[in-house]
Structure formats: C-alpha cells, structure tokens
C-alpha cells in the first residue's frame, strides 16, 4: 500500500495570522550585556547578543520554492525589511529546505553584509558560496569553532534534507548553539522530538534563550518524524532546562508558525496550544515568548 499525505477535505476559513508591530531592536549594535530577539517570520530571528548581530535561517522570499510562481506562498510579510537590518555578523543555517535556505535572501544578505560569517551543516556551504557568501564554516554534529570570543557549535536535530527529488538526505541538518562571554543561545533549527536535547544543554548550556519550532505538525503520522508539535516542543524545553537545574530557566522563543501553510493544523493553533501546554506544565509564564512579527523582546540582565 502506498501512503500519501492527504490534506483535510473540509474547507478552512480565513487563517488567523500573527500581527505586525514596530521593531524595537538596536539599529546598529546593542550595548554590552544586552540579549534580545526579534521575530522576522517563520524560523528567521534577529538575535542581538551584546554587539553581535545574528540571523537564523534567513527567509524573505514570497514563496518557499525553487520558483516564485508556484509552491507555498508567504501569508505574512517579514517583520523586518532586509534593508532595515543592522550589520549582520553571524548567520546560522539549519538545513537546505526551501523555507530555511532561500537563495534570494542569501544573495541579498551577502551583498549587504559581506563580512557576515555563515555557519552551515555538512554539504550546505556550497549553496552559500554559490550565492555570494564569503566567510563560511561547515560543521558536523558536535563540531565546535571559536572565533573572536564566540563559540559556535553544530548540534543534532531530527529532520531531513533535500531540494529536489534527487538529493534527499545528501546534506546534513542541525541545530546551533552560540556562546559569548555573557550569554548562550540555542537555535534548534527544524526538528522532531529527539533524545539529544538534554545532552545539547549539558554540553553547551545553560542557555539564556532557546529558539524552538512549534508549528507544521499535522497530521502526526506524517509529520512526527520531522517536526515537533507544541507538546513536544515544551517537552524539549523541559529536557533542556533540567540539564542545569541550578541555573535560571531559559526563555523559549516560539518560531516556525504563522508564515507559510506547510501542514494541516490551523495557522493560529501552534502558539495557542504551546501556551496551553506551557501553563499545564507549570512553567514560568514570562519565559515563553510568542512574538508578533517584528516584535523585539530583551532578556532581563541577570546581573541586576
């Protein structure tokens, strides 16, 4: 018997989409000790860690597709325009799917921010190089590199890769951790629930911020091997926090929802369900950040 994914036949109403707000990030570089996150859309987040400006999985195109006349179209405009970005120092790429590795966005960032350092999993550097990236580091899981006082580590995720029917699973997928002298962040990338979350935290935590996906999870028989649902995202967060019980719990930034319709759940279900599960687990309410597009939030200083 051949299994195929079949979308629900009942028509949906108009999707409830995330709101836009005026961005509040530092337009050039933040002050020492600052840690902030600005949601741009999907898995694209601007992280300002002191004077360091970081982008995750930059995606500004209108479609997550090899062509702009077909494929999943963008339902919400980016929360920050490409021209409005501050100087970008680091770009973290999780894998080569079109909604995470976008050729037009890589080209634009490479032109505007030629000194940016790109970090990719194995096999993905060639795309970035072809599209104009100049300083590229390609790592395997658990690989680590130190540069200019920043430690970046490639960490496991459970997902897949491929941009055509002929290159499936030929490049790696991953998450990333980044540590400066004051702060540590974890970008989980695109992932299903897996047993390595606690080990990632043990090796590279404790974290101040975790960027975790919460959307594109239905139907479960099809999506479970590659995407967490909100229950599993909260479970992953608990695994991460428990690895360092004496440390303050990290902030969780919920991403991978509200931009493209990639699965069968309603567009507004992932954040609502994540908030419900979070409350049910008795976790600190202020530590779950469900951001509007363009919204900036800052982690309070732990030195205060």
One-letter-per-residue 3-state SS of 153-179: EEECCCCCCCCCCCCCCCCCCCEEEEE
Cβ atoms within 10 A of the Cβ of 28, count?
Answer: 9
With CA atoms as reference, report the closest residue to 42 among 231, 238, 187: 187
Q: What is the pLDDT of residue 148?
A: 87
Q: How far apart are CA 119 and CA 78, in angstroms?
A: 22
Q: How far apart are CA 200 and CA 184, in angstroms?
A: 12
SS3 85: coil
Q: What is the pLDDT of residue 7?
A: 47
Domains contained in the chain, CATH given: 35-298 (3.60.15.10)
**Sheet arrangement for strand 90-92:** 135-139, 117-121, 90-92, 52-56, 44-49, 35-41, 296-298
Per-residue CA distances from 89 to 47, 50, 66, 115, 274 (Å): 11, 12, 27, 7, 31
Contact 17, 267 (CB under 8 A): yes
CB burial string 250-266: b at 16+ within 10 A, e below:
bbbbbbbbbbbbbbbbe
| pLDDT beneath 50: ranges in the chain | 1-11, 304
Q: What is the pLDDT of residue 187?
A: 99
């Amino acid at each position: 018997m051949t299994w195929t994914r079949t979308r629900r036949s009942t028509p949906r109403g108009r999707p409830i989409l995330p709101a836009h707000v005026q961005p509040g990030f530092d337009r050039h570089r933040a002050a020492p000790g600052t840690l902030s996150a600005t949601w741009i859309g999907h898995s694209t987040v601007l992280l300002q860690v002191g004077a360091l400006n970081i982008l995750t999985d930059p995606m500004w195109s209108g479609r997550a597709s090899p062509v702009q006349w077909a494929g999943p179209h963008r339902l919400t405009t980016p929360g920050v325009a490409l021209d409005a970005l501050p100087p970008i120092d680091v770009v973290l790429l999780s894998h080569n799917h079109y909604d995470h590795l976008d050729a037009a966005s890589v080209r634009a960032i490479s032109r505007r921010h030629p000194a940016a350092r790109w970090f990719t999993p194995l096999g993905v550097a060639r795309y970035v190089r072809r599209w104009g990236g100049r300083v590229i580091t390609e790592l395997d899981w658990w690989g680590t590199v130190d540069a200019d006082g920043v430690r970046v580590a490639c960490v496991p995720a459970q997902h897949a890769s491929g941009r055509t029917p002929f290159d499936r699973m030929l490049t790696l997928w991953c998450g990333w951790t980044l540590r400066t002298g004051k702060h540590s962040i974890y970008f989980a990338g695109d992932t299903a629930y897996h047993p390595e979350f606690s080990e990632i935290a043990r090796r590279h935590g404790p974290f101040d911020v975790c960027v975790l996906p919460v959307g594109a999870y239905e139907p479960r028989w099809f999506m479970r091997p590659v995407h967490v649902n909100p229950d599993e995202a909260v479970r992953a967060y608990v695994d991460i926090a428990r690895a360092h019980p004496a440390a303050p719990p990290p902030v969780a930034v919920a991403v991978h929802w509200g931009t493209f319709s990639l699965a069968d759940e309603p567009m507004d279900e992932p954040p609502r369900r994540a908030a419900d599960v979070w409350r049910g687990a008795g976790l600190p309410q202020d530590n779950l950040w469900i951001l509007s597009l363009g919204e900036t939030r800052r982690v309070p200083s732990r030195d205060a």
